[in-house]
């Protein structure tokens, strides 16, 4: 091994050791202040700031949104549009009064099948049991079995 190869080996070894130090030791690592869980960002618990210099380096924390909706300022800063909140669906679902969005919450029911269910309900009247729901095109025996535990026939 000549001297040039030896120098490259020493530099590679030094970089490897620095990488291990940075990876496993707590200083100098970037911290995560916000984590996007589901629909809204939530504050991550971080240790208190040690000095004014550390505060200036991190910047002032931004406002965190409560349960009412998505914080507009966070999305403006990131360049994203705010997401629409999904409608809350309560189960068991009343099949004779459910909207298309509520029907889409059922397993195996997409927008097209939800529209078919609503059209069938408007054309033939309210569903009186599982047999009448199975008459909807696109609902077979297996899909009906998966839906029955989540619906109520009025």
Listed in sequence order, the residues at least 6 apart from 96 whose beta carbon sits closer than 8 Å to its beta carbon are: 121, 126, 127, 153, 154
41 against 25, higher pLDDT:
25
Amino acid 82: pLDDT: 62
Q: What are phi and psi of 94, to 5 degrees?
A: -80, 105
**127 plus 144 within the same structural domain:** yes
**147 plus 100 within the same structural domain:** yes
The total domain count for the chain is 3
**119 plus 145 within the same structural domain:** yes
Question: With 50 as the cut, is the pLDDT of residue 150 above it?
Answer: yes
Span 62-86, average pLDDT: 52
Of 54-58, 81-85, 97-101, which one has max mean pLDDT? Answer: 97-101
Mean predicted lDDT score pLDDT of the chain: 75
pLDDT in tens, 45-61: 555 555 555 545 555 44
Question: With 70 as the cut, is the pLDDT of residue 115 above it?
Answer: yes
**146 plus 130 within the same structural domain:** yes
Q: Is residue 88 part of a domain?
A: no
Q: Is residue 48 part of a domain?
A: yes
Of 32-41, 85-94, 100-109, which one has max mean pLDDT? Answer: 100-109
Among 3-7, 63-67, 147-151, the range scoring the smallest mean pLDDT is: 63-67
**Cβ pair 92, 136 in contact under 8 A:** no
Q: Is residue 128 part of a domain?
A: yes
Instruction: Measure Cα distances from 10 to 6, 13, 19, 24 in Å.
Output: 6, 5, 14, 21
Domain of residue 68: give its range: 31-83
Which of 104, 77, 108, 80 has the alpha carbon at shortest distance from 93? 104
pLDDT in tens, 7-28: 999 999 999 988 887 777 666 5
Q: What is the CATH number of the domain that holds 137?
A: 1.10.150.280
Q: What angle do CA 119, 123, 125 make, to 5 degrees?
A: 105
Cα 7 to chain centroid, rounded: 49
Other Cβ atoms less than 10 A from the Cβ of 53: the count is 9
């Amino acid at each position: 091994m000549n001297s040039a190869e030896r120098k490259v080996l020493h530099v590679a070894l030094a970089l490897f050791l620095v990488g291990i130090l940075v990876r496993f030791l707590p200083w100098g690592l970037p911290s995560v202040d916000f984590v996007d869980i589901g629909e809204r960002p939530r504050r991550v618990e971080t240790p208190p700031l040690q000095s004014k210099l550390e505060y200036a380096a991190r910047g002032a924390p931004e406002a965190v949104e409560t349960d009412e909706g998505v914080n507009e300022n966070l999305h403006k800063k990131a360049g994203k549009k705010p997401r629409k909140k999904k409608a809350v669906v309560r189960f068991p679902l009343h099949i004779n009064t459910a909207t298309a969005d509520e029907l889409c919450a059922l397993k195996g029911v997409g927008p097209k099948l939800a529209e078919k269910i609503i059209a069938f309900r408007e054309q033939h009247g309210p569903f009186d049991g599982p047999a009448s729901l199975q008459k909807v095109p696109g609902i077979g025996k297996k899909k009906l079995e998966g839906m029955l535990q989540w619906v109520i026939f009025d």
